[in-house]
Amino acid sequence: MKVFDQGKGPAVLLIHAFPLNRTMWEPQFTGLIPHFRVIAPDIRGFGESQPPSPWTMEEIADDLNDLLNRLGIESCAVAGVSMGGYIALPFLSRYPQRIRQLVLANTRARADNEKEKAARNEMIAAIQQNGTAILPDRMLPRLLKPNSPEGVVTVVRKMIEEVNPWAAIHGVIAMRDRFDFSSAVHRINCPTMVVTGEEDAIIRAEDSRALADSIPRSQFVQVPHSGHLSNLENPGEFNRALLEFLRR
């Protein structure tokens, strides 16, 4: 597992979205590194964590637990965007003692419904037939808000274009088959912040608010002028909320 590891202080583990890699967190590094030890891995098959292999959310949780053991980190704050949130929940479920604080950004606790599973299957078939060249045009309008800054579009497009087709397929399968945590989130007892993008086309703001309402004493933050990748589209507001939460 290829990992970014810089800074000193309490550890913060950042889990990236699909089909991106650890560099999606670069807008957060500068703000976090003066105060925290920042750990940002590439999930199996993505970025520089090669070669791709099949995985489940629970197996990635185990990978992250092994990573923390290797790095000598006992506990950390965990922040996940989208797929990163899907991984953070089983990680919390399996290793609750390791998580000091939890940030669930642009993500949900429930599993895919039948319509969403069918869309995942269609995407798998399309990647098998055409490779990942089809992904940028399919995904960018949903990942980013309309008229997103050109620099952000370029960065996200490049990350998507670089993804290994098998990594993408394994990731879609893992998301399609993930466990439903919606009936378990009321048991989360670490400080939690739920983040949504004002213009998120994938996870609606009201769904994120409902998730926050179901987690005891959690904080809800809506990042203005951002879509599904709120940390990239409005890093100023995202970082302000993140730092304020982590430094409590």
Instruction: Domains for the chain: give ranges and CATH numbers.
Output: 3-246 (3.40.50.1820)
At residue 1, the pLDDT reads 86
At residue 93, the pLDDT reads 97
Task: For residue 24, give the nearest of 220, 166, 162, 222 by alpha carbon.
Answer: 162
- Which mean pLDDT values do the consecutive 10-residue runs of the chain (248 residues) have? 96 98 98 98 96 96 98 98 98 98 98 97 96 95 96 97 97 98 96 98 95 97 98 98 96
Task: For residue 220, give the nearest of 242, 185, 193 by alpha carbon.
Answer: 193
Which run of H or E residues covers position 154?
helix 150-161
Which run of H or E residues covers position 170?
helix 165-176
Per DSSP, which regions of the chain are E strands? Answer: 3-6, 11-15, 37-41, 76-81, 99-105, 192-197, 219-223
Instruction: Tell me the CB-side half-sphere exposure of residue 25, using CA atoms within 13 A.
Output: 31
Q: What is the pTM of this model?
A: 0.97
At residue 39, the pLDDT reads 98
* Residue 32: exposure state from Cβ atoms within 10 A (0-12, 13-18, ≥19): buried
CB atoms within 10 A of CB 6: 12
At residue 242, the pLDDT reads 98
Task: For residue 125, give the nearest of 174, 156, 168 by alpha carbon.
Answer: 168
Dmax (CA) of the chain: 49
Tokens, residue 183? 């009936």
Tokens, residue 144? 């980013």
